[in-house]
């Protein structure tokens, strides 16, 4: 083999050094290539109690594990020789356009995770052209969210309280502010047993104990922001001193029935969606009441552990009510491929909760932008590899659900 001494001209193209990124937030967010990467960053930067409130679920946390596993247990079937130079990721959802087939789910106590809270989420959603849903337990007001996302789609999520007048006062405020969709959550007659919160002594607002002070030492930025910004306030009440479970059990109404849903339907002027559907029969029942959409959801595994897996329910619900209403899916989504699979099997739209919050905790508003960018890139790439140039081209032939858990046959 003949060898030669390389010339400077030959070496020059190989000696190009990447320009260093001096901004630490920009650097760490750019290094995050998946939602799981954002989760790891969030865990490092957020006190244990706040991170666990986001990351955890009910009891043994079986429901969320199964939901995520269900998305992993699929097989894609790509079509070849399709023109996918351009990919369209938007279409109409609940009567108005969206740029992507996902939106930001309603999450409670959001400014506890990171002080920019819902404001960061609403701004990021507005830029991305996707809906932002504000929770009844949100820490920014209905009006403030509208102010930072004036031209975007804002949705309001309702928990029906024992105090019906206060519940409907929030609904009236959302209507007056121009929110176009009401998500009525129906899977919380009582709070689920969120054991991480109990073990962490989780309170609202977080209490300064010896344990929390020690936990705060490696996370001074979070505590500095928390202690030097506006105290936590809620869309539903001004202040609360106690545990999360006590607050939820005080507010949630276990007497809510289908009659209450019909009553809300008569009072809300926009689109009405029922969140927390977990059986085919209940999907049919609420559709027969005239709702505009259903969200297949087990509350991110935070209510009934071992609840049905929403992604597994999707094909059957789509066959039963897909021609009569729009189906939205949440719980377990951690990638754009998950979202593409859901659309292929009949979902019109999906909602991300933890995925958005991991971005928020990892880097505030810029972190939410990064989470949306990661999912967008994954959606576009998955569609191209499947040979689908538009969401309308996705169909059940693209996906097979590989069932790990099957019902035992009765004798």
CA atoms of 283 and 260, how far apart (whole Å) = 16
The question of whether 299 is a catalytic residue gets the answer yes
Query: How many C-beta atoms lie closer than 10 Å to residue 109's C-beta?
Result: 23
Q: What single-letter DSSP state applies at residue 287?
A: H
Q: How far apart are CA 291 and CA 273, in angstroms?
A: 6
- Token pair for 116: 């920019």
**Locate tokens 């593409």: which residue?**
340
C-alpha torsion 90→346→265→261, nearest 10: -140
Token digits for 232? 């936590």
By the 10 Å C-beta count (0-12 exposed, 13-18 middle, 19+ buried), 12 is classed as: exposed
Outline where 151-194 has alpha helix (H). 164-176
Q: Of 64, 88, 178, 71, which Cα lies nearest the Cα of 131? A: 178
* Strand runs labelled E in 205-331: 242-243, 271-277, 293-296, 326-329
Query: Which residue among the candidates 77, 151, 299, 398 is catalytic per the annotation?
Result: 299
- Residues with catalytic function: 299
């Amino acid at each position: 083999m003949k060898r030669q001494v390389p010339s400077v001209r030959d070496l020059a193209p190989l000696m190009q050094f990447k320009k260093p990124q001096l901004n630490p937030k920009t650097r760490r967010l750019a290094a995050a290539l998946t939602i799981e990467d954002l989760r790891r960053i969030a865990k490092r930067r957020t006190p244990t109690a706040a991170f666990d409130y986001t990351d955890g679920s009910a009891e043994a946390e079986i429901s969320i594990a199964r939901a995520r596993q269900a998305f992993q247990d699929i097989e894609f079937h790509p079509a070849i020789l399709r023109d996918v130079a351009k990919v369209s990721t938007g279409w109409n959802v609940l009567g108005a356009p969206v740029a992507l087939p996902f939106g930001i789910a309603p999450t409670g106590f959001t400014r506890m995770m990171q002080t920019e809270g819902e404001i960061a989420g609403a701004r990021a959603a507005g830029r991305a052209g996707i809906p932002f849903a504000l929770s009844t337990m949100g820490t920014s007001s209905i009006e403030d969210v509208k102010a930072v996302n004036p031209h975007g789609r804002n949705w309001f999520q309702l928990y029906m309280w024992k105090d019906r007048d206060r519940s409907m006062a929030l609904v009236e405020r959302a209507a007056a502010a121009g929110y176009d969709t009401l998500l009525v959550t129906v899977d919380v007659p009582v709070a689920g047993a969120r054991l991480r919160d109990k073990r962490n002594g989780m309170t609202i607002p977080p209490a300064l104990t010896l344990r929390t002070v020690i936990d705060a030492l490696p996370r001074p930025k979070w505590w500095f922001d928390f202690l030097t910004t506006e105290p936590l306030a809620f869309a539903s009440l001004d202040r609360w001193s106690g545990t999360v479970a006590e607050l939820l059990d005080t507010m949630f109404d276990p007497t809510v029935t289908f009659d209450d849903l019909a009553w809300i339907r008569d009072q809300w002027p926009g689109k009405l969606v029922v969140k927390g559907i977990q059986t085919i029969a209940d999907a049919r029942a609420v559709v027969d009441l005239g709702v505009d959409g259903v969200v297949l959801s087990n509350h991110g595994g935070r209510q009934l552990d071992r609840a049905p897996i929403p992604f597994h329910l999707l094909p059957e619900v789509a066959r039963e009510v897909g021609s009569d209403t729009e189906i939205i899916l949440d719980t377990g989504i951690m990638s754009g491929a998950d979202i593409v699979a859901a659309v292929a099997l009949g979902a019109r739209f999906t909602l991300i909760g933890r995925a958005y919050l991991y971005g928020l905790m990892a880097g505030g508003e810029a972190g939410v932008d990064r989470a949306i960018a990661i999912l967008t890139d994954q959606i576009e790439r998955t569609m191209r590899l499947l040979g689908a140039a538009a969401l309308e081209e996705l169909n059940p032939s693209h996906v097979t659900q590989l069932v790990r858990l099957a019902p035992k046959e009765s004798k």
